[in-house]
Amino acid sequence: MERKPSPLEILMTEFLPAAEAAAVETQVAKIQEPPVVKALGDLRTPVYGNDPTELLKHRFLYRGGMCLLSGPTGVGKSALLIQEAIHWAVGKACFGIMPGDIYQKQGMRILLVQAENDEGDLAEMRDGVLAGCDELTDAEKALALQRIIVRTVCDKTGEGFAAELAVLLVECGPFDLVLVDPAFAYLGGDSNSQKDVSHFMRNLLNPLLQKHNAGMIIAHHTNKPLRGKEKDSWEAGDFAYLGAGSAEWMNPCKSGLAIRSIGSDSIFEFRAVKRGKRLRWVDDDGNPTVAQYIAHDGRPGIICWHKATAEDVEDVANQDKGGRRKQYDDFECVHAVMHRPGESQTFYVDLIAGKLECGKTTVRRMVQTCVKAGWIGERGDQQFRRFDVTDRGEKEAKKRPSALDWVS
């Protein structure tokens, strides 16, 4: 059935000159819907487990919200984004960041808009993740590749970028999640200017996400490393502002993640810097935490991230300023046991770590080396294990006096 023209359309076409009709049409287009208001008591509490707006648990990121991923240049932010996208596209967790319950079942459609990598780089990162992530089945890998759409935009910033993104969301969507890599490529203004960054984040990106009901993760560079040790004293929310430029990069974001250097070129701290407790991460002892350590895959040609082991992290901590691993004499464990025989491993680990100023994982390795060498003997069961120096260890101790004072 043919649509009847509205009274306004009849007025403009039949009774007004063309110029006046165009002016009226322009003004009508500016009229907005009346604001939607609700009483505070009418707001609905999210229903966890059945919340279609929850993209990443537990509402760490939801539809219409933004997350900022900050990290130094060249460490692998782009590869991490692709690795996360491949997992989330099929409903799998990545480094403890779990999709919402609905998306664990149906996966996500994801749009990656990027500027800094050519097709070869992107393909190498994709292939590295597929080769390095054994937890994904071949079927899941194939499905993820269909659900992630890539668009390279190198020539648009500010309003031009927002317009390009709007077209992508309409023509190629709908999408659950949009990844933007990196923020600097698309700002089109001064990154230190609160006005410029606020306009980009709040007036351009946020309305688009609200309109198209999608979430967004934005990759952002950190500042050049500070001289001295200013960051050593940073606490909690301070890390939210690791990103370079204005604080407005983080302020409008619902959540934040950061890759932070710990002095290694392959092992980094991965920290949830905003709303981190919502991820419900726990450390190796089961305690709540907002930080973990991740490492580059060590195999040649494999561009992929893995969870770092405690030994990996401790090796970094035990490096001297020249990047060499500090050396400790394993035999000091024998002198420690001779000083206080019959104690538990926990006692000796604390004692030796304090004397040598090294990590507890290092001490555990040292103790086991002495046990295997026959210098220290074990008795009791796993729960009540005790240590004593063997005859062989006592003989060796006479030849190898301690460089430390174990009496005081």
The pLDDT tens digits of the residues spanning 180-193 come to: 999 999 999 999 99
Dump pLDDT digits (tens) for 312-358: 776 666 665 555 556 778 899 999 999 999 998 888 988 988 888 77
Q: Domain holding 366: CATH number?
A: 1.10.10.10
Residue 8 included in any domain: no
pLDDT greater than 70 at residue 30? no
189 and 313 in a single domain? The answer is yes
Residue 30 lies in a domain: no
CA distance linking residue 182 with residue 148, whole number of Å: 17
Q: Which residues contact 106 (CB under 8 A, 6 or more apart)?
A: 91
User: Which CATH number does the domain housing residue 78 bear?
Assistant: 3.40.50.300
Contacts of 117 (CB under 8 A, 6+ apart): 78, 125, 152
Q: What residue type is 253 in one-letter code?
A: C
The count of structural domains within the chain is 2
Query: Do 113 and 178 form a contact (C-beta atoms < 8 A)?
Result: yes
Span of 31-35, 182-186, 267-271, 285-289 with lowest mean pLDDT: 31-35
Q: What residues are paired with 278 via a beta bridge?
A: none
Q: Is the dihedral of CA 203, 205, 211, 217 positive or negative?
A: negative
Ranges of H-type helices in 231-281: none
Verify that 247 and 103 share a domain, yes or no. yes
CB neighbour list of residue 74: distance below 8 Å, 6 or more residues apart: none
Residue 233 placed within a domain: yes
pLDDT tier at 308, thresholds 50, 70, 90: confident
Same domain, 170 and 211: yes
pLDDT in tens, 102-130: 999 999 999 999 999 999 999 999 999 99
Residue 363 confidence class, pLDDT cut points 50, 70, 90: confident
Q: Taking residues 50-77, report their average pLDDT.
A: 94
Q: Are residues 188 and 66 in the same domain?
A: yes
Q: What is the 8-class DSSP label of residue 115?
A: S
- Do 232 and 125 share a structural domain? yes
Secondary structure element (H or E) that encloses residue 363, with its range? helix 360-372
Residues 231 and 353 in one domain: no
In terms of domains, do 210 and 90 share one? yes
Q: 337 and 286, same structural domain?
A: no
| pTM score | 0.72
Phi and psi, residue 59, nearest 5°: 55, 35
- Asked whether residue 91 is assigned to any structural domain, the reply reads yes
Residue 253 belongs to some domain of the structure: yes
- Own/partner pairs for 381-386, CB < 8 Å, 24+ apart? 384/344, 385/344, 385/345, 386/342, 386/343, 386/344
- What mean pLDDT is predicted for residues 15-39? 67
Report the range of poorest mean pLDDT among 40-49, 86-95, 196-205, 319-328.
Answer: 319-328
Q: Span 201-208, mean pLDDT?
A: 96
Stretch among 27-31, 98-102, 257-261, 377-381 having the lowest mean pLDDT = 27-31
The whole-number pLDDT of residue 320 equals 54
18 assigned to some structural domain:
no
Reading the block at residue 175, the tokens are: 């999408």
The β-bridge partners of 270 are: 259, 292
Pair 225, 264 in one domain? yes
Give the residue from 317, 342, 370 where a domain finishes.
317
Q: Is the peptide bond before 300 cis (omega within 30 degrees of 0)?
A: no
For 393, half-sphere exposure in the C-beta direction (CA atoms, 13 angstrom radius) is 27
Domain containing 348: what range?
A: 332-399
Q: Is pLDDT of 206 > 60?
A: yes
Instruction: Flag whether 354 is in a domain.
Output: yes
Q: Beta-carbon neighbour count of residue 121 at 10 Å?
A: 14
pLDDT value for 230? 41
pLDDT per position as a tens digit, 293-303: 999 988 877 89
Which of 200-214, 258-272, 353-367 is predicted with the least confidence, judged by mean pLDDT?
353-367
Higher pLDDT, 199 or 309: 199
Final residue belonging to a domain, choices 317, 345, 367: 317
Do 151 and 243 share a domain, yes or no?
A: yes
Same domain, 211 and 277: yes
Burial class of residue 352, CB neighbours in 10 A (0-12, 13-18, 19+): buried
Q: Which of 317, 343, 360 is the last residue of a domain?
A: 317
Per-residue pLDDT for 227 more than 50? no
C-alpha–C-alpha distance, residues 281 and 338, integer Å: 40
User: Over the range 37-67, which residues count as b (16 or more CB within 10 Å of their CB) and which as e?
Assistant: eeeeeeeeeeeeeebeebbbbebbbbbbbbb
- Whether 405 is in a domain gets the answer no
Q: Would you state the pLDDT for residue 36?
A: 83
221 plus 115 within the same structural domain: yes
- Choose the weakest-confidence range: 50-54, 186-190, 242-246: 242-246
317, burial (CB in 10 Å: exposed 0-12, middle 13-18, buried 19+) = middle
238 vs 328, higher pLDDT: 328
- Residue 360's pLDDT band (cuts 50, 70, 90): confident
Beta bridge partners of 151: 113
Does residue 110 contact residue 88 with C-beta atoms inside 8 Å?
Answer: yes
